[in-house]
Amino acid sequence: MISTWGEWKRYPRVERGENIEAPIGPGIYEVRYASSGQLFSFGAVDNVAHALSLLSVNSRSLTSWFVRRGPAPTPDLEYRTCATSTKADAKAAAERMIGRRETYINGAA
């Protein structure tokens, strides 16, 4: 069983003490840049909240391990989630969405 997508929410900023609001169970997540709508990350997972919490929004280069700098600016991201009853349902729904996107892009080109 697949539920509907939730509303877009601003991706939490750790420095502000914000938290992720997502299902603790199987589902799909989508993260995009708020300004452009460009896709940042997408996945079908066992635990949506855990996957979003592990998402790396700050990339670290090799030199950043040796050079001390201030915190890197966090990109302006937003996310939405869709809960499912099983990971298999999440994967099937994600594959359908990817297929629809590819069809749309190929048709628009």
41 by Cβ neighbours in 10 Å (0-12 / 13-18 / 19+) ranks as: middle
The answer on pLDDT for 7 being more than 90 is: yes
∠ CA 98-104-108, nearest 5°, is 145
Q: What is the mean pLDDT of residues 24-35?
A: 93
pLDDT tens digits, one per residue of 38-89:
999 999 999 999 999 888 665 455 555 555 655 556 678 999 999 999 999 9
- Do the Cβ atoms of 93 and 84 come closer than 8 Å? yes
> Which pair of structure tokens corresponds to residue 71?
């915190």
pLDDT above 90 coverage of the chain, percent: 45
> What per-residue confidence (pLDDT) applies to 52?
93
Of 1, 71, 83, residue with least CA distance to 44: 83
In angstroms, what CA-CA distances link 63 with 9, 74, 80? 33, 18, 33
Which H or E run contains 28?
Answer: strand 27-33
pTM: 0.75
102 φ/ψ sector (left φ>0, alpha ψ -120 to 50, else beta): alpha
Amino acid in the structure at residue 71: P
pLDDT at 84: 92
For residue 106, pLDDT over 60 is answered with yes
Share of the chain above pLDDT 70, in %: 72
Domains in the chain: ranges and CATH: 9-57+74-108 (3.40.1440.10)
